[in-house]
Amino acid sequence: MKIKEYIIFDLDGTLSDPGEGIVGSLAHALKQFGIEASPEILKKFIGPPLVDSFQTYFGFDEEKTAEAIRLYRAHFHGDGLFKNEIYPGIPELLEDLTKAGKTLAVATTKPEVYAWQILEYFDIDKFFKRELVTGSYLDGRRTNKAELIAAVLEQLDDEPQKMVMIGDRKFDIIGAKSNGIDSIGVTYGYGEREELEAYEPTAIVDSVAELRTLLLGS
């Protein structure tokens, strides 16, 4: 893969590990429906749109899904938002990419307002222009990864071959392909190598160090 000028990151499972906050908030929401789910199942919620996951794993209808998301977000906003950790090496990578003249962006299914708060909390917002941090809306719109990536590309307004999407789930790879750009799958997040390989990203890396080599050539 050629060195890219524009680098778009997923957030959860790529820049940060949000597991504790998300799993705790999901468990709280499901408890209101009398459901206890294993952490292994709840970790599968990290990455895809919540609507899809509540319907896929628990068979919720539209009304039940909406209420579950409301309960989840209320708990997440108050207790789970900052139960999150930046992956080791990410701040240094973002700094070096910026020094190398790269333009950095974020495309995440997490609500945009939460995404920006997390970047600020970990002091990595300085590496991103606000208009290049794109997430879903709180009313449930814009949760499709292809749509989110398209919104970033519209802001970048340059040739697709200069861009790459980086993420840990198949949705990142599918979204990148839908927009005609390269993709890098990372296995240190919440997606499994088999899942990534099935959707044939441009490259797969197993660590932040490998990602650095691919993006900077050193």
Locus of tokens 């020094």: 99
Candidates 58, 110, 104; CA nearest to 84 is 110
Nearest to 167 by CA among 209, 128, 201: 201
Alpha carbon 60 to its chain's center: 23
Taking phi over 0 as left and psi of -120 to 50 as alpha, with beta for the rest, 61 belongs to: beta
The answer to whether 10 is a known catalytic residue is: yes
List Cβ<8 Å contacts ≥24 apart for 138-141.
138/73, 138/111, 138/113, 140/51, 140/66, 140/69
Closest Cα partner for 201 from 216, 218, 187? Answer: 187
| Secondary structure element (H or E) that encloses residue 56, with its range | helix 50-58
In sequence order, which residues have a C-beta less than 8 Å from that of residue 137 and are 6 or more positions away? 111, 112
Q: Choose, from 10, 12, 172, 182, the residue flagged as catalytic.
A: 10
Question: Active-site residue numbers?
Answer: 10
